[in-house]
Amino acid sequence: MAPDMATHPAIKDEVAALKRERIIGAAAQLFYDRGYENSTLEAVAETMGVTKPFIYGHFKSKAELLADICTRGVSASLVAIDTALDQDSSPSGKLRLFARDFLIAVLNNQRNIAILTREEKNLQPEDFDRLSALRREFDHKLVSLLRSGVEAGEFRLNDPYVAALSIGGLVSWAYVWYRPHGRLSLDALADEVSTLILSMAGATS
């Protein structure tokens, strides 16, 4: 007998999550191609072959969709710094791991970050504030990592805060120029960028 979703909450939640992902994917492609202001929920539904109420069953508004899309790249970047900080490694080892994972996170969310950069002005104030808080958390953790390297004698930096902003800008901007079928594979590019970031930090080991 087929499982009844009403009596299996886990299955029901999984199906709902898949539907949300479909909606987010369709909306992100439209926002990327047409811009947020030139896209409608009707257009999102049309590209999916569903009705507008289907969208409203999972998202209250177009603004909520934009916030979800914009949050993904920032959240993935936070995962990268948290993973590195949790490692039992030297500051240099943590920075190398972070740099690789950070670049991969940005490029795996290339479309989302492009939308965030272009459409940040259209976020609702509460969503803008929430994303700003996530960015500050990211910057604080990266500064902490760089300072630990300076204190351990592994990094040569006059101002870890400026260095953190520079590293963040260097990697975040990769969404503009990266091409999936370019000269370097994603792994090879991540290695190159991590070496560059260690050099920027003046790593001695």
**pLDDT tens-digit readout, 46-86:** 999 999 999 999 999 999 999 999 999 999 999 999 999 99
Extents of the domains making up the chain: 1-59, 70-200
Position 41 scores a pLDDT of 94
What's the rounded Cα separation, in Å, for the pair 59 and 97?
Answer: 36
Position 1 scores a pLDDT of 47
What's the rounded Cα separation, in Å, for the pair 15 and 21?
Answer: 10
What's the rounded Cα separation, in Å, for the pair 18 and 205?
Answer: 45
What is 1-59's CATH number, 3.40.50.300, 1.10.20.60, 1.10.10.60, 2.70.210.12?
Answer: 1.10.10.60
* 176-194: average pLDDT: 92
Position 205 scores a pLDDT of 64
Q: Give the percent of the chain with pLDDT over 90.
A: 87
Give yes or no for residue 128 having a pLDDT over 60. Answer: yes
* 131-152: average pLDDT: 97
Give yes or no for residue 37 having a pLDDT over 80. Answer: yes
Position 7 scores a pLDDT of 53
Mean pLDDT of the chain: 93
Q: What is the dihedral of CA 147, 152, 155, 156, to 10 degrees?
A: 90
Q: Residue 142 corresponds to which tokens in the numbers above?
A: 């990266």
What's the rounded Cα separation, in Å, for the pair 140 and 83?
Answer: 15
Position 4 scores a pLDDT of 55
Position 17 scores a pLDDT of 85
Mark residue 142 as left, alpha or beta (left: phi above 0; alpha: psi -120 to 50; beta: remaining). Answer: alpha
- Structural contact between residues 80 and 98, judged by C-beta atoms closer than 8 angstroms: yes
Position 202 scores a pLDDT of 94
Three-state secondary structure call for residue 186: helix
- Structural contact between residues 143 and 164, judged by C-beta atoms closer than 8 angstroms: yes
Q: End-to-end CA distance of the chain, in Å?
A: 61
- Structural contact between residues 23 and 9, judged by C-beta atoms closer than 8 angstroms: no
Going 17 to 18 to 24 to 27, the CA torsion angle's sign is: negative
Question: At the topology level of CATH, where does 70-200 sit?
Answer: Tetracycline Repressor; domain 2 (1.10.357)
